[in-house]
């Protein structure tokens, strides 16, 4: 999943762009792995990759 946010503040925003981006980042990081994050000027791009469930990870990590 790719998320692209602009980070420029504007007067009639319901939520500050930086706050919106950090909220999305934290929410997706609970169930997905962040694989790319980069800022370019007024934009920030994030890419997340689906992860397996905790039970599956533990099963694959055992010797």
Interstrand relation of 2-6 and 32-40 (parallel, antiparallel or unpaired): unpaired
**Tally of domains within the chain:** 1
Whose CA is closest to 49, among 32, 61, 28? 32
What pTM, to 2 d.p., does this model score? 0.64
Beta-strand pair 43-50/2-6 = antiparallel
Residue 39 · residue 26 · CB < 8 Å: no
Instruction: Report the pLDDT value the prediction gives residue 9, as an integer from 0 to 100.
Output: 75
Rounded Cα–Cα distance for residues 26 and 3 (Å): 12
The pLDDT of residue 63: 47
Give 10-residue mean pLDDT values along the chain (63 residues). 79 78 89 91 90 56 48
* pLDDT confidence of residue 18: 81
Number of Cβ within a 10 Å radius of residue 12: 4
Domain that holds residue 20: 2-61
> Residue 62: what pLDDT?
47
């Amino acid at each position: 999943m790719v998320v692209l946010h602009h980070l420029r503040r504007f007067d009639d925003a319901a939520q500050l762009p930086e706050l919106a981006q950090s909220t999305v980042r934290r929410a997706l990081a609970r169930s997905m792995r962040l694989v790319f994050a980069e800022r370019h000027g007024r934009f920030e791009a994030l890419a997340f990759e689906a992860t397996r469930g905790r039970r599956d990870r533990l099963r694959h990590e055992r010797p």
